[in-house]
């Protein structure tokens, strides 16, 4: 009898152990359990710890309640200003309603991933390149709202979405590098110009104060001499009096006017002397021409009326006899016409 009781107890214990092994479940701290009994949802959500289900009747679905970090694959797109870019992102989300995560969607992880990719493409098409590069915070907020709207019905809460990297074509990278370099040069020039302006104002202020105090200027000259002498050079530097320079500047216009006036008088005298010399040369040339023309005019009649052949020009050959003398006629009225000839 005792033996039968012991056997019965052992059988019950074994059956209980088998039942506990098949019906017992452990839900971890970061999980929640959703029970489906014969395919029907049990409203009670199992908390962390040990829980029992009916073997073969109940089905326990465990849902992770931790924040999930999901990388979004890089998406190619064209921005609003027609620039081809490649953008990838990362999304952080968690399940806040395990029942909806099990019932409302087949696989909430895959659904969130696909929604993130489509939303990222939409953001790329609606944004400019400058916004993608410099205004990412605003784009992250817009992308988060686009993904969170449908994810609420799935029992999922989008914690944060961030754009990781924006890949540009090589030509665009070179253009942006040139633009950035030009911008840096412009800012450097502006800074240098402002510095020079401030320095010039300070120098002008210092010059005004030194002009009011001549002793300060002399002291500055002495300081300069001491600084130059400390370099141990063989060149001796002596300051030139500033007052003498100012005196020379005031006297220079008067001296220049006097020199111009003296030069004008000398030029007039030179021109007068040149005119007198030119007149004298002209008179002498006229007298020489007149003296040369007088003998020539006197020699012309003698040569013209002397028709006797000279001894040098007498031709060779038989002598030529003189023409016979014609008796003179009585010249009367008949000779009157010849007189006219």
Distance separating alpha carbons of residues 268 and 258, to the nearest angstrom = 16
Is residue 43 within 8 A of residue 50, CB to CB? The reply is: no
Residue 225, exposed/middle/buried by CB under 10 A (0-12, 13-18, 19+)?
middle
Structural Rg of the chain based on CA atoms: 65
Compute the 3-state secondary structure of the chain and give helix, strand, coil in percent, each to the nearest 5: 60, 20, 20
What pLDDT digit, counting tens, does each position of 108-137 carry?
A: 999 999 999 999 999 998 888 888 888 888
Between 14-23, 74-83, 181-190, the lowest mean confidence (pLDDT) is in 14-23
Distance separating alpha carbons of residues 38 and 59, to the nearest angstrom = 8
**Region 98-114 average pLDDT:** 91
Task: Mention every residue, 6+ apart, whose C-beta is less than 8 A from residue 242.
Answer: 217
Cα angle 179, 184, 189 (rounded to 5 degrees) comes to: 125
Per-residue pLDDT at 250: 74
The architecture of the domain spanning 67-168 is 2-Layer Sandwich (3.30)
Residue 102, exposed/middle/buried by CB under 10 A (0-12, 13-18, 19+)?
buried
β-pairing, 24-27 with 40-46?
Answer: unpaired
What pLDDT digit, counting tens, does each position of 35-46 carry?
A: 988 888 888 888
Between 50-59, 87-96, 196-205, the lowest mean confidence (pLDDT) is in 50-59
Residue with tokens 């012991």: 6
Largest pairwise CA distance in the chain: 232
For residue 126, give the 3-state DSSP assignment: helix
Residue 113, exposed/middle/buried by CB under 10 A (0-12, 13-18, 19+)?
middle
Look up residue 249 and give its DSSP letter: H
Between 106-115, 176-185, 192-201, 278-287, the lowest mean confidence (pLDDT) is in 278-287
Distance separating alpha carbons of residues 90 and 75, to the nearest angstrom = 12
Q: pTM of the entire structure?
A: 0.51
Say whether pLDDT at 163 is over 80: yes
Is residue 145 within 8 A of residue 94, CB to CB? The reply is: no
β-pairing, 58-64 with 156-167?
Answer: unpaired
Say whether pLDDT at 334 is over 50: no
What pLDDT digit, counting tens, does each position of 253-298 carry?
A: 655 555 666 666 566 666 655 666 666 666 666 666 555 544 444 4
Per-residue pLDDT at 241: 63
Say whether pLDDT at 93 is over 90: yes
Residue 252, exposed/middle/buried by CB under 10 A (0-12, 13-18, 19+)?
exposed
Residue with tokens 């030179």: 270
Q: Where exactly are the structural domains of the chain?
A: 2-62, 67-168, 174-212, 214-257
Cα angle 315, 321, 324 (rounded to 5 degrees) comes to: 145
Burial 62-101 (b: 16+ CB within 10 A, else e): bbebeebeeebebbebebeeebebebbbebebebebbbbb
Q: Above pLDDT 70, what percent of the chain? A: 68
Listed ranges 206-210, 247-251, 310-314; the one with the highest mean pLDDT: 206-210
Distance separating alpha carbons of residues 110 and 229, to the nearest angstrom = 83
Among candidate residues 88, 93, 89, the one with its CA nearest the CA of residue 110: 93
């Amino acid at each position: 009898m005792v033996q039968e009781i012991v056997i019965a107890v052992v059988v019950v214990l074994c059956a209980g152990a088998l039942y506990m092994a098949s019906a017992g479940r452990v839900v971890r701290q970061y999980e929640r359990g959703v029970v489906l009994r014969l395919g029907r949802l049990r409203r009670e959500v199992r908390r962390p710890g040990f829980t029992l289900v009916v073997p073969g009747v109940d089905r326990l679905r465990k849902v992770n309640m931790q924040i999930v970090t999901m990388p979004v694959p890089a998406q190619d797109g064209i921005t609003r200003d027609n620039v081809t870019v490649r953008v990838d992102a990362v999304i952080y989300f968690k399940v806040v309603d395990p029942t909806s995560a099990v019932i409302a969607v087949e696989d909430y992880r895959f659904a969130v991933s696909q929604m993130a990719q489509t939303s990222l493409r939409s953001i790329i098409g609606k944004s400019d390149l400058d916004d993608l590069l410099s205004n990412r915070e605003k784009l992250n907020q817009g992308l988060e709202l686009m993904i969170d709207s449908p994810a609420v019905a799935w029992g999922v809460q989008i914690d944060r979405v961030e754009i990781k990297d924006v890949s540009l074509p090589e030509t665009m990278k070179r253009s942006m590098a040139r633009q950035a370099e030009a911008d840096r040069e412009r800012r450097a020039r502006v800074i240098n110009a402002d510095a020079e302006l401030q320095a010039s104002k300070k120098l002008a202020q210092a010059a005004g104060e030194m002009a009011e105090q001549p002793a300060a200027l002399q002291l500055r000259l002495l300081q300069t001499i001491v600084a130059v002498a400390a370099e141990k050079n063989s060149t001796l530097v002596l300051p030139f009096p500033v007052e003498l320079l100012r005196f020379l500047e005031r006297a220079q216009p008067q001296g220049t006017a006097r020199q111009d006036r003296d030069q004008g008088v000398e030029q007039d005298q030179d021109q007068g002397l040149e005119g007198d010399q030119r007149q004298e040369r002209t008179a002498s040339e006229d007298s020489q021409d007149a003296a040369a023309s007088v003998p020539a005019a006197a020699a012309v009649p003698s040569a013209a009326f002397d028709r006797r052949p000279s001894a040098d020009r007498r031709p060779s050959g038989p002598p030529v006899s003189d023409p016979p003398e014609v008796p003179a006629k009585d010249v009367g009225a008949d000779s009157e016409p010849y007189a006219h000839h």
